[in-house]
Amino acid sequence: MSMTAQQLAAVADLGYLLIRAGELGDARTLWEGVAGVAGHLEAPWRALAVIALREQRYDDCIGAANIAAQRQASSPAPLVLRAEALRCQGRYADADRDLTAALALPPRTPADQLVLARARAMAGRIR
């Protein structure tokens, strides 16, 4: 099954709404479907990493963030998500390495600026 960009955007909007509403099980199911249809994109993997982090499934967060980082190497979000999961596992040196890498990336969007602000705050707590 394939989806148009407009259909993907509509489904993604619903997925983000479910995450914000705390409906993580439904959000996970939706984003897993999106990843199955559009796994070449970064967004479904990033969303799955966010969900896994909120559910305290840190290894799953790391795995999804790894895929997201492969899909969009210029995005700091997967690195910061992975760093947060690593920090929760007590792997502070690994988390610091990801935060340093994220902070070395130039922000491309306003969302990137927010992610990098979070990275700076996390780095301050780890170091």
Residues 30-86: pLDDT tens digits?
Answer: 999 999 999 999 999 999 999 999 999 999 999 999 999 999 999 999 999 999 999
pTM of the predicted structure, to 2 decimals: 0.94
Into which CATH architecture does domain 5-126 fall?
Alpha Horseshoe (1.25)
pLDDT, tens only, 81-118 = 999 999 999 999 999 999 999 999 999 999 999 999 99
**C-alpha pair distances (Å), 34 with each of 1, 9, 42:** 11, 10, 11
Given a cut of 90, whether residue 120 has pLDDT beyond it is yes
How many angstroms separate the CA atoms of 17 and 43, rounded? 14
Nearest Cα residue to 65 out of 91, 93, 44, 94: 44
- The arithmetic mean of pLDDT across residues 19-24, rounded, is 98
